[in-house]
Amino acid sequence: MEKVLFSNHIAKDLGLYLDNIKYSQLGLIMDSNTQAHCLPLVQEGLPKSFSSFVFPAGESHKNLETCTKIWEWMTEEGFDRKALIINLGGGVTGDMGGFCAATYKRGIRFINLPTTLLSQVDASVGGKLGIDFMGLKNHIGVFTKPDAVLIADTFLQSLPEEELRSGYAEVIKHGLIQDEAYFGLLKFEHWKEQNWRDIIEKSISIKRIVVEKDPKEAGLRKILNFGHSIGHAFESKYLETERHLLHGEAIAIGMIAEAYLSHQKSGLSSRELESIQASLLQVFPKFDFEEEEIPGIIKLCMQDKKNEGNQIYFSLLSSIGKCDFNIPVTEQEIYDAIKYYKNSHL
């Protein structure tokens, strides 16, 4: 598994890490927001000589076009196979920067400095790398682990509220799929008033346990996709529109809809369904859409990576804290689940 290092002094700890390894060249990949708000926090830990690549912030830039520019930058800088890449940023940077490093010259080393709650509790562990393609989320990618992940909750102080909330969706998911007690300890009405360091450590430990048992998502690891089959479809549907959703906002929709499917198909009780719905709607405002948009969302569900042939498979809850995978679902059942979310309320 990845070496995950928790840091109270990120610049100092980054400097110590770099001093203790060998590399021929150092490259830093970040987006425009990270350059402004997070680079100053690590600047003192970086050597005097390094090259950087900055791309515009946003999921819409997590594509092959940006990758081509990154590979051109690496080539023009003369990076060899002993070069080291630092990905400083959220999930977009970690996914895409790691993907570019893993494919450049058949793979060079990289480390991640995740700067958002979402990237710290989710993308930091598991080695999933990739980009969006033809409007489909993470459609092209590989499994490659970073040499190390350095996590500092001080980065969270620079996040807008909506970005912090987006990451919280994955925290909630971890409790729902693996740890009922953890879910019970999470705050919803006053969700911002929490010890984020403790939450990050707990969520990473939950994900680690799952990933170590199933590194390549052949079975158990699929439970980490609870809420994502429908959630990713919503995220893809509105990605390049004025109504675009942050990842966690879309996954919150997916978790409510898939909790309904869990109640219909996997034994989740009506009381637990109501608890999940009420908890999520306290944190994530309701997303409005028209019923005639649902078929387009279902069509995107057909592209989910867990599907086989024409059969759609979901990961669903049998109870809070217990999730099953490879459960076949029909298009009509997905329609009903999305309609359930549309009609849901506190």
CATH number at residue 187: 1.20.1090.10
List 130's β-bridge partners, or say none. 141
Domain boundary among 100, 134, 157: 157
Residues 126 and 213 in one domain: no
Domain range for 307 = 160-342
pLDDT-derived band of residue 309, with 50, 70 and 90 as boundaries? Answer: confident
Of 72-86, 130-144, 169-183, 274-288, minimum mean pLDDT range: 130-144
Give CA–CA dist 207/260, Å, rounded.
Answer: 24
Q: H or E element: which one contains 185?
A: helix 180-185
Q: Note the pLDDT of residue 91.
A: 92
Residues 66 and 85 in one domain: yes
Residues 67 and 101 in one domain: yes
Tell me the pLDDT tens digit for each residue of 229-243.
999 999 999 988 999
Kindly report the number of other CB atoms within 10 A of residue 47's CB atom: 10
pLDDT-derived band of residue 35, with 50, 70 and 90 as boundaries? Answer: very high
Give CA–CA dist 341/334, Å, rounded.
Answer: 11
Domain boundary among 124, 157, 190: 157
Residues 21 and 98 in one domain: yes
* Cα R_g (the chain), whole angstroms: 20
pLDDT-derived band of residue 305, with 50, 70 and 90 as boundaries? Answer: low
Give CA–CA dist 18/228, Å, rounded.
Answer: 36
Closest CA to 166 of 246, 103, 239: 246
Residues 26 and 66 in one domain: yes
Q: Note the pLDDT of residue 258.
A: 98
Q: Note the pLDDT of residue 164.
A: 96
Residues 23 and 93 in one domain: yes
Q: Note the pLDDT of residue 23.
A: 97
Of 90-94, 214-218, 311-315, minimum mean pLDDT range: 214-218
pLDDT-derived band of residue 310, with 50, 70 and 90 as boundaries? Answer: confident
Instruction: Tell me the mean pLDDT in the region 261-290.
Output: 97
What mean pLDDT, rounded, does the chain reach? 94
Closest CA to 141 of 84, 108, 170, 98: 98
Tell me the pLDDT tens digit for each residue of 1-30.
678 999 999 999 999 999 999 999 999 999
Q: What total of structural domains would you count in the chain?
A: 2
For the record, the structure tokens of 101 come out as 């490093």
Give CA–CA dist 104/108, Å, rounded.
Answer: 7
Residues 324 and 186 in one domain: yes
Residues 208 and 327 in one domain: yes
Domain boundary among 108, 137, 157: 157
Instruction: Tell me the mean pLDDT in the region 311-325.
Output: 96
- Contact between 71 and 11 under an 8 Å Cβ cutoff? The reply is no
Closest CA to 224 of 289, 138, 308, 162: 138
Residues 87 and 145 in one domain: yes
Residues 176 and 309 in one domain: yes
Tell me the pLDDT tens digit for each residue of 109-166.
999 999 999 999 987 788 899 999 998 888 999 999 999 999 999 999 989 999 999 9
Residues 85 and 193 in one domain: no
CATH code at position 14: 3.40.50.1970
**Using the 8-state DSSP alphabet, how is residue 346 labeled?**
-
pLDDT-derived band of residue 90, with 50, 70 and 90 as boundaries? Answer: very high
Instruction: Tell me the mean pLDDT in the region 215-233.
Output: 94
Q: Note the pLDDT of residue 221.
A: 93
Residues 104 and 237 in one domain: no
- Label the pairing between strands 51-55 and 26-31: parallel
